[in-house]
A and B are shown apart, each in its own frame.
Chain A
Amino acid sequence: MCKDVNEYLAKLRKELEGSDTALIQDALSDAEGHLRMALEDALSEKPRLSEIEAMTSIIEKYGNPKEIASAYRAIESRTSPTLAVSRTTETRSSWARFFGVLAEPKAWGAFFYMLLSSLTGLVFGGWALIAGIISFSTLVFIIGIPIFGLFLLSIRGIALLEGRIVEALLGIRMPRRSLFLDRNLSWKDMFMALIKESYTWKAWLYLALQFPLGLIYSLGILLLFVFSLSFIGSPVLELVFHIPLDLFGDDVFTPVWFLPVVCAAGFFLLPLTFHLARWVGKVHGKYVKSMLVRA
């Protein structure tokens, strides 16, 4: 039997070994929140009760670590992230697979994630860098300690939000519950816990790096997308509307005999762009998971 909340959490973490790290973080967060609230209620209702006695009765109702781990695994296996790919056997031809990417929600999700990442990179990364420097520089004064602590808390909140965007658009399972600090700790211990936890710094680093990375993602994917569409539309643009292709500032009228080739290149470049987006989404998903999941 577990004598306190921390021991219960350690056992639950052990039972969940091998599961998705985001699921472990959610399960631990749910359990910690519930058990601490229940313990507080139990001890305020019956002050003479020892913590071990209270925990025994609480765990009886909440479920032991083994039961809870099994409940999380069972439900998780039935609910995958929105855009997660089903593991069905691929029976389409190579051509169908190449062009079929345009009908895949996951490729579109990754495409929109890359487009959006310049905005989120700018806002989240800008906050991580600018507010980080300002709040860090206030540490020379006593008042700077709570300011820097609040900044680090905001980083964890933003990291959770970024995780939700990643899960919605890239279909990668990310934590759905925020991490919290034990309210029984003193302000000083809370601040030290924030500083000592590697998750805080990994989240900060991730958000700061999103600033340049988001710009690269957005610009790259936007350029490829615009080129694809302008190549596809080049016969109509040039012959009907007399609009030349604008290649890096130079207006170029394509010879008429070459227009079908440019148009065909556009039809190839478009799915290629979405294959690239899907691949970047997959790689970014692994990267984000290694940075923004604590468990």
Chain B
Amino acid sequence: MNKNIFSLFVKPVFLFFIAIVGSVACFAQSQDIEMADTMRSNGKIYVVVAVCLTILVGLFLYMANVDSRLRKLEKEKV
């Protein structure tokens, strides 16, 4: 009996509540359509950050390559 009451009243109410919350969340999402938010925030300063990081990572990889070549050479000498 107890179980029946749950399935009759609590479950629909719960589902309704979830539906309300979900639709509010969807509505809130459709309100601000602005895309690529991180790159565009603070006057696009993160683009500059990304450019800096690209160059740093590129140069680090290049130097790691040079380093591995030097290590091979050192091994040959010994």
Are A and B interaction partners? no
Task: Give me the interface of A with B, judged by CB distance under 8 Å.
Answer: none
